[in-house]
Amino acid sequence: MLMTVVTTLLLGLAYPLVITGVAQVLFHDKANGQLIKRDGRLLGSRIIGQPFTGLGYFHSRPSAAGNGYDPANSGGSNLGPTNQQLIDRVHADTARLQPENPSAPVPVDLVTTSASGLDPDISPAAALFQVPRVARERGVNEEQLRQLVMKHTRGRQFSIFGEPSVNVLELNLELARTTP
């Protein structure tokens, strides 16, 4: 009985409080969700995706989390690659996106959801695919937007892990700031 009480207090109370305190002191931004605030307003999180639907903004990857980007309902669609519902949705999304940039193939991450449904990033190819639409809507030079995309492209972690990516929220925030 005494061992149960001691381990409960030690591992269930003391250890989590110490780790939380260390995280708050050493990694405050990361421990609190990497929130982006401007002028006292919360704009979003660097690590949780959100939808952007305006034609003058870069669009995020589709989400299967609840009604879209719902962190309380995170998860993929669980539709396998041979599921007809998934195939039909991907074909429909591809047909909808192709007119945006008829000379380029539609990147796969613009028509498929991530495993969590909360992915804040898209591939550089997905961002570059959207450049003609965003440039047209904002009345800016495509080359200027390509440079903006490249500026926001993060490489592989330690040069070997993961794939290059673009954080859609950060890209759109700078887009709004530089080309209102």
Strand partners, 158: none
Rounded CA-CA distance 68/56 in Å is 20
Q: Would the CA dihedral through 135, 140, 143, 144 be positive or negative?
A: negative
The predicted structure's pLDDT at residue 115: 78
The two structure tokens encoding residue 68: 């879209």
The predicted structure's pLDDT at residue 48: 82
The predicted structure's pLDDT at residue 42: 76
Q: Would the CA dihedral through 119, 120, 125, 131 be positive or negative?
A: positive
* Residues 115, 83 contacting (CB under 8 angstroms): no
The predicted structure's pLDDT at residue 110: 93
The predicted structure's pLDDT at residue 59: 94
Mean pLDDT of successive 10-residue stretches along the chain, which has 180 residues: 92 91 80 76 80 89 78 74 89 93 93 84 96 94 95 92 93 89
